[in-house]
A = this chain, B = another copy of it.
């Protein structure tokens, strides 16, 4: 019997509506490189949703690719990107950012989050140093919404970070690999429109939110949009059959599909959370999105691992570890119930 996988949010394929449209349009002949009508239509929908009628919208295949392309496009050679030390770019992309020549300026973070004070402190310290020419200059800020720990920035926190960024002329880039789960969390108070306004560039994650693959980069600061497609091509992110990307995002933003799928995944995740808490297991993080991090005794981990797949996160003490359970658009109520029953 196959184990049930809660290991990640990219274990299955795509929302069935996406596959249907891929099948329907398979023989249509379109221009390549996302210059087709489906991509244009998806762009229009995204601009509308974001309330950014002039935003540059481009589609890439995956998250690491998107992060490195956006960051390399923005920074001057001697600049680095400020990130929480737990940020995906700092720990889980095999040095993709450094491979483009830039240092990740990691700051400790709290529950996966940067604070406005930390950003300000890095900038102030840099420019106050008499030797600042010998030190990597902060050139932009990267944060994930939600974070790699499932946590969320409040609107107030984002506004404060945005203010500091604008004061120091640092573009703010929001990694939205799991944006849907963040926006649809019951604890979230940031709208997509406000998020788009507060940052300079962000992306709407498809891979982890119901698409086969794909990330939609939205550049709201026009100064950063010029020639961005050259960057995509150079970094290997320009998909020949760009229609595949356009069509997927067009579908995701039809009938609220993207948001409803995320909402349902969040609900199942919270159901799981409550079950863990009921059993007395503490949560490593106060997450209200699709990733949950219970702290389990070793025996319980082993017992659950016989029927379920989940990720080891970190050792908490000699007899306990935090693990990660993820839900996604594809998770069923039955799967969750089976896990709860097993607890």
Contacts and interface: CB of A to CB of B under 8 A. Distances in A.
A227 B95 CA distance: 14
Chain A binding surface, main DSSP class: loop
Given A4-B29, A14-B26, A93-B134, A212 B241 contact: yes
Interface string A38-81: 00000000000000000000000111111011001100111010
A244 to B, nearest CB: 6
A1 interface: no
A65 B65 CA distance: 10
B27 A227 contact: no
A2 interface: yes
A5 to B, nearest CB: 4
A181 to B, nearest CB: 16
A136 interface: yes
Interface size class of A (residues with CB under 8 A): 35 or more
Contacts of A99: 77-78, 101-102, 234-235
A229 to B, nearest CB: 5
A212 B22 CA distance: 10
Interface of A: 2, 4-5, 7-8, 10-14, 16, 19, 22-23, 25-33, 61-66, 68-69, 72-73, 76-78, 80, 91-96, 98-104, 130-131, 133-137, 207-208, 212-213, 227, 229-231, 233-241, 243-244, 309, 312, 330
9 contacts: A7-B31, A19-B19, A61-B236, A78-B94, A92-B135, A94-B135, A130-B312, A207-B241, A235-B236
